[in-house]
Amino acid sequence: MTLSTLDPVPALVAIDLQRGIASGRETTPHPLADVIARSAELADAFRARGLPVILVRVTLDGAGFSPGRSDRPRAGGTPPEGWDEIVDELAGHPTDVVVTKRNVGGFVGTDLDLQLRRRGVTQVLFTGVATSMGVEGTARAAHDHGYHVVLVTDAMADTDEATHHHSVGAIFPKIGETTTTAEVLATLGAPAAV
């Protein structure tokens, strides 16, 4: 688990760190509060260096969610007001880009790829929840789109420890590099003096 290098224009992509998902959800192996705090620390570091921060949220706004049949269908109904709003620790930064998805992964049916390419991004660093769903789905697509993928494993969590460890141990090494928040911050170094 090591980060080989940072490209000249990496982007931080935080997945599904939003009020409705963060509210009262138990996650493993890291509490969701820690995932949010580490993601916010990384976002602050990226912003301080003028690097892109992309916040991907999922919404259930009547436009539909991935329509395919599954053994475990998603809960229906209308979520409460504010369910899909970015958590306060990450929200409110005018330079951040918010991408709204209606699928597990962040690329299908969104402008995520366009937003990254417009900014000259060649490397994406992922944080968020759930490791085995939104994070893995988006990271796989990023790899398929030709981005260098970095997975910040102490800034992500899942509701099931076995699926988190499967993603981190079996899937992520095949599509990118795994690292920690501390290693990313050390690799970023100090922001340039203005």
- Give the residue extent of every domain in the chain: 10-60+83-188
CA distances from residue 182 to 118, 121, 156, 166, 188 in whole angstroms, order as listed: 28, 22, 14, 22, 10
pLDDT tens for residues 122-180?
999 999 999 999 999 999 999 999 999 999 999 999 999 999 999 999 999 999 999 99
Confidence of residue 107 (pLDDT cuts 50, 70, 90): very high
Question: Of 110, 100, 116, 141, which Cα lies nearest the Cα of 15?
Answer: 100
Q: How far is Cα 146 from Cα 159, in angstroms, rounded to an integer?
A: 29
Mean pLDDT score of the chain, rounded to an integer?
91
Tokens of 165: 């460890």
Confidence of residue 69 (pLDDT cuts 50, 70, 90): low
Q: Omega into 22 within 30° of 0, i.e. cis?
A: no
Exposed e or buried b for every residue in 38-60, given b needs 16+ CB within 10 A? Answer: bbbbbbbbbbeeebbbbbbbbbb
Is 160:136 a contact under the CB 8 Å cutoff?
no
Backbone angles phi, psi at 149, to 5 degrees: -105, 130
Per-residue confidence band for 99, with pLDDT thresholds at 50, 70 and 90: very high
Q: To the nearest 5 percent, what fractions of the chain are helix, strand and coil?
A: 35, 20, 45
For residue 190, the model assigns a pLDDT of: 78
**What CATH class has 10-60+83-188?**
alpha beta
Name the percent of the chain lying above pLDDT 90.
78
Query: Which of 107, 85, 2, 94 shows the shortest CA–CA distance to 53?
Result: 94
Distances (CA, A) of 34 to 24, 26, 41, 89, 127: 13, 12, 10, 11, 11
Q: pLDDT tens digits, residue range 25-54?
A: 899 999 999 999 999 999 999 999 999 999
